[in-house]
Structures are given as C-alpha cells and as structure tokens.
Amino acid sequence: MVAVPTIPAPVVERRFWWLLAAGVVVLAAGLAGAWVMEHEGHIATGMNNEIVWGTPHVFAIFLIVAASGVLNVASVGTVFGRTEYKPYARLSGLLCVALLAGGLMVLMLDLGRPERVIVAATHYNFTSVFAWNVFLYTGMFAFTALYLWMMMERRMNRYAKPAGIAAFVWRFVLTTGTGTIFAFLVARQAYASAVLPPLFITMSLAWGTAVFMLVEAGFARWRGAPRAPEFQRRIARLLGIFVALALYLVAVYHLTNLYFAKQTAFERFILLDGGVYPWLFWAGYVLVGSVVPLALVWRAGVTERGALAAAALVTVGAFALLYVFIIGGQAFPLDIFPGYEVTSSFRDGQIAAYAPSLPEVLLGFGGVAAAFVIALVGVQVLDFMPDEGR
C-alpha cells in the first residue's frame, strides 16, 4: 500500500454528508420520475407498444449485470485464493448488494402496476424465467449478506471460503438467468440465442470490474485511504481480459446471426443502416467501450489514471451496447409474414421509433443513485474499505 496524506476524520465526515446529499438529490429525482410514470401512466415515457422495454431497462440490466460481476473481486480473493484481492472482498460484496438493489428498484418502479409488486412475490409461474429471477435476486442478497458476515465477523472467518464459493456459483446462475430472459424470446430476431447467457456472464465480469475500480478509487479519495499500485495494475489487466472476452462473445453472437439467412436483415439494421443503433454499437461499444480501454490497460506501464479511464469507458460502452441490444432489438419489426411487405395501423413491418423521456431517464439515474447511497452509507458506518477492519 502506498501511504497518502491522512485526511482528518471531520473532513471525511463532512465529505460524506455532501456526497450523501448529492446521492439523495438524484435518488429523489428518480423517485419523482417514477411518480410521474405511475400517476400519468407510461404515456409519460418514450416507451410504447413496439418499444415495450426502454431506458429504465437499460439502467436496470446494467446495474443487475454489474452487481453480479462486481463480486468477482471477492471471488478472486476467496475462491481462487489470490491474497492481494482479499482486502477488497468486503467492498466487493457491499457493491454487489448495492447495485442489485438499485437495479431492482428501477425494474420495480417501471412496472405498469408497481403497487402490485407484492403479487410478484406471492404468485409464481414456474415456467417463467422472470419468476425464477425473483428467487435468484433474493438468493443473491442472502448469499452475499452471509458471505459479508463470514468475512467481517472474526469468529466466522473460517466459513468465509464456503460462503464465498456459494455466492460465486450463485452469481453465475443469476447472470445466466438475466441472459435467459432474452434468450427465451423465441420469436424476436435480436434475442433467441443460446449465446446470450454466457455473453451476459462475460459482460458482467467486465462491467462489474469496471464499476469496482471506479468506486474503489472514488471512495479511497473521499476517505484518504492508501492505494495499492500493484493491485491497480493487476485488476486493470483483469479488466482487459474480461472486456476482450465479452467482445469475443458479442462477435460470435453477430456472426452466428449473420450465418442464418433469416437473420441477415436484422443484422444489417443493427450493424449497418439502423441509424443510431449502428453508431452506438461501433463507436460506443466497440471503439469507446472495448478497443480504447483494451489499448489503455494492455499497454506497457499502465498508470492508475489510464486504468480508471479504461474503466469509465467500459461503463460508457456498456450503456451503448445495452441500448442497442434492448431498444434496437425491439425497434426492428417482427417477421410475422415472411416473404411479404406489410403495412398496418399497428406499424407492422416498420422500424419502431423511440425517444427516452425525462421521467424514465431520471428513474434510471435514480437506480444508480440508490446503489451509490447504499454503498456510501455502508462504507461510512462499517469497515468495508481495504485498509479498515483488519
């Protein structure tokens, strides 16, 4: 660890309150957005009968997928025994819970009937992957909480490894479940693919690692915590491996689609002439979100600043890819009448239009703010940072 000038406790505390206030303001704006959506209906959003899942889902799925991946730091320490990762395991667990809670908040408040969330908790259709996910999310909270307890309570430390293995397995199942939400959509050109669950797992590893790097650096700055340059270098290289893996599976997903004649029109739309979607894919995800970060972390002598820039770009790329995947995937019309040109009052055969509205964007950022507030308060009241509680 590199010692940094100690920041007096009152300064840390003062910064905490400012950071908390900022988080609460954004969270309140998000809740106000959700209130407008609940009060006026989804007419207040850009979503419609073609783009049924919009910006809230981009944020929610980012947060849920990243929640699973952010726990990877803890897994590398506990499950794979890499000691340099162990001090970061607690923060990793806290971020997992925080991101998952933020993502679920967005999903829940986007429901047409959010007050019926109790129905979702009491009525299960076990053929629905959504219903499975209710258990997967709950289980993730439970396993991570247990894992944190084993790590933070000295008398229970010896059980940290089995708890860590359980959480490690569970998060793979969880992300498989998230990918399967889309993979089971048999009739949609963009989604019915067995590549999606493993793709979601690689994306979770990349995005979770990026979020961890950004939050850890930010929180260390807030608290004047010492930095470990060797750890920063290692995790930056790990980020590079995950980003490359995700890029590889995205390429496989598109290549397999391109091989199927029935999918080529969709691929042409999403990769070439679909307006905003090819732009976001190539410039946003491939260039900014993958190639540039890879160049940053794999060049010789990566600096912390370079590693953090890479992590920030990976996050930007994640949102670009999810926008293309979720919204672009729905914008392309369903092929109900193969071999026919179709027109109708319900816009059959047309590319669907979508423009996010303020309330839904606020709700999305509200989810991020909820995760931030949970992590911030957690770090303030308990020993989650790597230099604490050891």
Residues of the shown chain interacting with another protein in the complex, contacts defined by CB under 8 A: 40-43, 47-50, 52-53, 111-114, 116-117, 119-120, 123-125, 127-131, 133-134, 181, 184-188, 191, 330, 334, 336-337, 339-348, 352-353
Q: How far is the CB of 364 from another protein (least distance, A)?
A: 17
The nearer residue to another protein, 134 or 276, going by C-beta atoms, is 134
In the three-class reduction of DSSP (H, G, I as helix; E, B as strand; rest coil), residue 2 is classed as strand
Q: How far is the CB of 33 from another protein (least distance, A)?
A: 16
Q: How far is the CB of 273 from another protein (least distance, A)?
A: 18
The nearer residue to another protein, 134 or 195, going by C-beta atoms, is 134
Q: How far is the CB of 123 from another protein (least distance, A)?
A: 4
Q: How far is the CB of 355 from another protein (least distance, A)?
A: 11
- b/e per residue 78-110 (b: at least 16 CB within 10 A): bbeeeeebbbbbbbbbbbbbbbbbbbbbbbebb
The nearer residue to another protein, 8 or 340, going by C-beta atoms, is 340
- Asked whether 150 and 160 are in contact (CB, 8 A), the reply is yes
Q: How far is the CB of 238 from another protein (least distance, A)?
A: 34
How big is the chain, counted in residues? 390
What are residue 2's DSSP bridge partners? 227
Q: How far is the CB of 237 from another protein (least distance, A)?
A: 38
Q: How far is the CB of 339 from another protein (least distance, A)?
A: 6
- Asked whether 387 and 90 are in contact (CB, 8 A), the reply is no
- Asked whether 62 and 103 are in contact (CB, 8 A), the reply is yes
The nearer residue to another protein, 47 or 297, going by C-beta atoms, is 47
Which phi and psi angles does 351 have, rounded to 5°?
-70, 130
The nearer residue to another protein, 68 or 189, going by C-beta atoms, is 189
The nearer residue to another protein, 41 or 229, going by C-beta atoms, is 41
Question: Tell me, what DSSP letter sits at residue 227?
Answer: B
Residues 85, 386: Cα–Cα separation, whole Å: 9
The nearer residue to another protein, 301 or 338, going by C-beta atoms, is 338
- Asked whether 21 and 323 are in contact (CB, 8 A), the reply is no
- Asked whether 197 and 179 are in contact (CB, 8 A), the reply is yes
Residues 69, 319: Cα–Cα separation, whole Å: 15
The nearer residue to another protein, 303 or 350, going by C-beta atoms, is 350
DSSP 229-269: HHHHHHHHHHHHHHHHHHHHHHHHHHHHHHHSGGGHHHHHI
- Write the CB contacts of 135 (distance below 8 Å, at least 6 apart in sequence): none
Q: How far is the CB of 120 from another protein (least distance, A)?
A: 5
Cα–Cα distance list, 203 to 38, 116, 127, 278, 326 (Å) = 31, 31, 26, 19, 15
The nearer residue to another protein, 10 or 338, going by C-beta atoms, is 338
Residues 382, 91: Cα–Cα separation, whole Å: 10
